[in-house]
Amino acid sequence: MLMRIAGALLAAALAAGCNSVSYDPVPESNFTSRDKQEFSRQSFTNVLPEPEHLRQIVTDPTREKPGTIVVDTQNRWLYFVLPEGKAIRYGVATGKEAFAWSGVAKVGRKEQWPGWTPTEGIHSRMRQAGFRLPSHMPGSAENPLGARALYLYENGRDTLFRIHGTNEPELIGSAVSSGCIRMLNADVIDLFNRTPMGAKVIVM
């Protein structure tokens, strides 16, 4: 299955280079009053990635069932499969090679404006870089997890990998995080609203 999807994603990436890109913005009705309040504090709310990583409706290359999430880490795209052979494609930032995770999981938990508790590994890397992190950061516009988080579970256990928002939208389209999948906050809100608990997630 994964080999089939990988081949389809490669073909889709090659075809994308020949097509014009149109941005399909997330409707403002998706946002809660808390979202609007937090966004009003952000100087980067309107920062957008390169055109190929803007949210758009595309022909589904995955052939997975509607409601499935497929993450193409090589090309920094996340697909949410729609009915009738379509998908929403979002730009993402993914984990650097040393920290990247791949596999099949399910959405085991969903949080709005999630708090962040850095792992000991993250604390260690940040100390080596000369930074100190708090033991816990409550949800806010400054939190690295951004506006929403989908927590990925495998065989009923938390993988410690998430699909979440970001406080660094300029990095969408890059391999920068510690394995997690970052999205624009508007995009992760849209994905969060569409995705039920237990949804299948394939990370390639």
Catalytic sites, residue numbers: 164, 180
Start-to-end CA span in the chain (Å): 11
Distances from the Cα of 202 to the Cα of 26, 64, 70, 106, 129, angstroms: 23, 10, 5, 9, 32
DSSP-derived letter for residue 141 is T
d(CA 77, CA 93): 8
Distances from the Cα of 171 to the Cα of 62, 133, 151, 155, 186, angstroms: 25, 20, 21, 31, 15
d(CA 69, CA 123): 30
